[in-house]
Structures are given as structure tokens and as C-alpha cells.
Structure 1
Amino acid sequence: MVIAKTAPSAQQDAPSRETTEHWLWAAAPDTSLTEDDHPWSGKWLWFTPLSLLDRSWATIRTATEDGLLGYCSKAATLLNTRTKSDDTRRPICVYTRDWRNIDDVQRVLTNLRALGIVDVLLYKTDSDTRKGRYGTGASTFVAPATKMKLVIPKRTREALEHQHAARAQARRTAAARRKVPVPKRT
């Protein structure tokens, strides 16, 4: 794994030294960290070794603030631990507004790889997180180590196909409504 040698500029920017917050956040230009959740948002998850957490976060934070990644990113601090989690790693999350926009999800993955991140990356919808889906099978997309192309699991493929079919049906219904003359009332 290659990480840019940008050191955190202040203690609050170093997840390993943060003592009051569970997450440190960064926003892309013209994005407010207080903006509401996007209904289709999701995130790339990079489970970073503790020894590289601060440097990794500095790289992601800078790329996010430069507009190269998603609309925001966050890094877990040492306060952020879950039962059954790996105590030797912390997640860094890079958010996209719409998991269904595969081109944007792929763009962010490509830029993460360009930053030198070669580990396995998992993509998960915020909806799945809110529903408590964690662990095996919870990922919407997977990017195997060093690979630039995302893998779409069967569950996600089926959801996307269902969504495309529903959109097509809605378009057909709308078109049919436009073609049917409205009966005149007397």
C-alpha cells in the first residue's frame, strides 16, 4: 500500500490522537458536512491498519477536499470500536450520493486506486448500514485488491435489474397515459 506522505496538520486531523469524536469528517468543495443524508448514498470502505491510519486519512481528506473523491469522507478514531470488530484496523469511508450511479462509484474507485490504495475495498449503501447489515454479504460492490474494476454481487445485480425494470415500466405507463385521450365529460 502506498500512502502520500502528507502528515496531519493538527491533532484533531489525526484519528489516532482524537479523544472526543468517534469520526473525523472531510467534505468536498461546495458540500456541507451538515447536509442531509442522500436517500441513495453509499460509501467505499477501506479498513486501514492502525499504523497507517493518520497518513491514510490525510491522503483521503486532502483528495476529498480537492474534489477528487465523493461528496464527503470520514475516518474512524480509536474511540470507534464495535464488538466483533478488528482492533488492528479502522474504517475510512468515502461517500457517493447515489450507489445506483455505477459510473460515479467506479470513478471514485479509480481515484482511490490512483492514490495508491491497493487493498480490498468494499462498497456499502447507507440504507444497509441503517438496517444493521454488517459483515459477509453486506457489500453492494467489491473491489478486489489492486483491481480497478468493481465486482457486482448477485444481490446488487438483481436490485439494479429490478430498479431498471421498474423505471422502464413507469416510462411505459407515462407514455400510455399521454396517448390515451381523456374522455370528455358532459
Structure 2
Amino acid sequence: MNEQSPLEELLMRISDRPSEDLSCSWHITKSPSCETFFSGATTGKWCVFAPSSDVDQAWTKIKSAVEEDKLLCAKVSTALRSMGHDGHIICVYTRDWTDGQDLLRVRGVLRSLGFVEELGYKRDIDTKNRIYGPGEWYMRA
């Protein structure tokens, strides 16, 4: 009989709560109307930063908005991904960073959910190419 050590049990902890999940790096959800979503040259995301104490509640709000087809797709870093960091990131995706109207619509949805602080929007192509700081296309709203 193979029994797991307490450390192995901890490292394999699966949870619906991002703050507790050590089984994977991200929780991802997409809207019912979104058949496929791939990160590419035109996609981008609003970045919501949350401390571990608040990430589960923040994720629940955003996940519900995605499931209600108000948002396209979102992901949240789990406890595994956030080890050694001050908190978590939730990425709320859009298909086309050049579509300013959609970027503002999605930002409006996030505000309606209570995310009223200034947020940053980043192109996926910059993330893929590891472009940060100078040279990075970044919008704040």
C-alpha cells in the first residue's frame, strides 16, 4: 500500500480556490459563446492583482462574469504559481488589443464587479516576447 507523506499530500493539493491549489499553475475559464481562444498577435489582457487573502473572492466574481458571457476568457494564478510572490494575478482576455471600444467595455465590466482601481492592459505578444518596461505596449485605465 502506497501512503503519501504529508509533504506529498500538500504538494498534490487540488482545490477550486486559487489561494489553496497546489496541483496546477492556473485556473482558466472561458465564456459559453467562446468555442476556442488562443493567445496570439492581437490578443491581450487586463491584469488584476490580488493578495492571497482576496484572490478567491476576486476570482469568483470574474469567473461568474465569464460564465454569464460578459467576459471572453480569464485565468488566475494558483498558490503553486504564486509561491514566492506577494499575491496573485488574474488575466481577463480580449481578442483584439486594437479594438479600443471592446477594451473599454471589458474594463467597464470589471468596474461593475468592484475592480475600480486603475488596472493595466497588456498585449500578449509583448508577454510572449518577454518585453517588459521600456518598449512594452501598456495601457492603464
**Coarse TM-score class (shorter-chain normalised):** 0.7 to 0.9
In terms of Rg, which structure is larger?
1
Instruction: Provide structure 2 residue ranges, at least 5 long, that are not aligned to the other structure.
Output: 1-13
SS at match of 1:92: strand
Higher RCO (Cα < 8 Å, 6 or more apart): 2
What is the TM-score when the length of structure 1 is the normalising length?
A: 0.63
**Higher helix proportion, which one?**
1
Match for residue 107 of structure 2?
109
Q: Structure 2 vs 1, CA of residues 135 and 80 (structure 1 numbering), >3 Å: closer, same or farther?
A: farther
Are the equivalent residues in 1 in contact too, given 2:43–2:97 (CA < 8 A)? yes
Amino acid across the alignment from 2:121: Y
CA shift digits 1:48-74 (9 cap, x unpaired): 1111000100100010111112x2000
CA contact (8 A) 1:46 1:91 kept: yes
1:41 maps to which of 39, 43, 48: 43
The match for 2:74 is 73
Identity %: 38
**Where does residue 148 of structure 1 map in the other structure?**
none
Q: Matched residues in 1 for 2:132 and 2:81: separation?
A: 15
Pairwise CA distance, 1:82 = 8.0
Q: Give the match for residue 178 of structure 1.
A: none
CA distance in 2, matches of 1:97, 1:15: 25
Q: CA deviation at 1:113?
A: 0.4
How far off is 1:139 after superposition? 4.9
Partner residue, 1:51:
53
TM-score relative to the length of structure 2: 0.81
The count of residues paired between Structure 1 and Structure 2 equals 128
